Amino acid sequence: MESFTILDGIAAPLLKSNIDTGVIIALRFLRSRATDLGAGLFADWRYTADGAEIPEFVLNRPRYRESRILIAGANFGCGSSREAAVWALLRFGIRCVIAPSFGEIFYDNACENGLLPIMLPEDLVGRLVARVETAGEPRLTVDLECCKITAPAGAQIAFEVPEERRAALLAGLDETSLILQHEGEIDAYRARAAAARPWLYGKLG
């Protein structure tokens, strides 16, 4: 997966709480691998029944069309465990979601796919949204190396990410890649285990 170090980009405010994975990407977009998940992101909020854009929706507004960061309400990504919710955000171009809290499985899926989920207190999220909405350009810089967000006009906000998650995102490593970094140790353990208990490895006689 793509490593995450410093992200500078447009940030879109979507301060709704309890946005579930079924809203992020509806089930009908998962029936074919050829479907553009980015086009299906928030489809029931972005489009009318006949496919026309709803101009009032934040990601349809010219100011936020190229958003790389989403600022959301509490419990973002709740609901089902569908990993495609993360894929849809990434396919649209969003690499970071800032919210007071996340659905637990969504948080894990995000980290596993290179999407940075940042948790901030609700009052800080509200202040960040206010800065973005009133700025000439709604741009944030997210620095995972220093764990700081730089808001419009230069204000900085510190955030925390579990160190194992931070290290993996910085290096662009998912769980499989992290495990393979210990391949030599794993092979050595298997050799010792096979020598001590050969019947488990079909090596009797």
Q: Kindly report, residue by residue over 17-35, the tens digit of the pLDDT.
A: 999 999 999 999 998 888 8
pLDDT digits (tens, 9 = 90+) for 123-143: 999 999 999 999 999 999 999
Contacts of 95 (CB under 8 A, 6+ apart): 4, 7, 9, 68, 69, 114, 115, 116
- Tokens 């499989």 sit on residue: 176
Q: Edge to edge, what strands does the sheet with 156-158 contain?
A: 116-119, 96-99, 67-72, 6-14, 139-143, 148-150, 156-158
SS3 53: strand
- pLDDT 10s digits, 160-202: 999 999 999 999 986 655 554 545 666 666 767 777 777 777 7
For the chain, give every residue range classified as CATH 3.20.19.10: 6-172
Per-residue pLDDT tens digits for 87-120: 999 999 999 999 999 999 999 999 999 999 999 9
* pLDDT value of residue 184: 67
pLDDT the model gives residue 198: 76
pLDDT value of residue 54: 98
User: 60-70, pLDDT tens digit by residue?
Assistant: 999 999 999 99
- pLDDT attached to residue 180: 47
Contact 98, 40 (CB under 8 A): no
- Lookup: tokens for 119: 């948790």
3-state secondary structure of 23: helix
Cβ neighbours of residue 103 closer than 8 Å, sequence gap 6 or more: 20, 21, 75, 76, 77, 78, 79
CATH of 6-172, one of 1.20.1250.20, 3.20.19.10, 3.20.10.10, 3.30.470.10: 3.20.19.10
Q: What pTM does this model have?
A: 0.86
Q: For tokens 């569908």, what's the residue?
A: 82
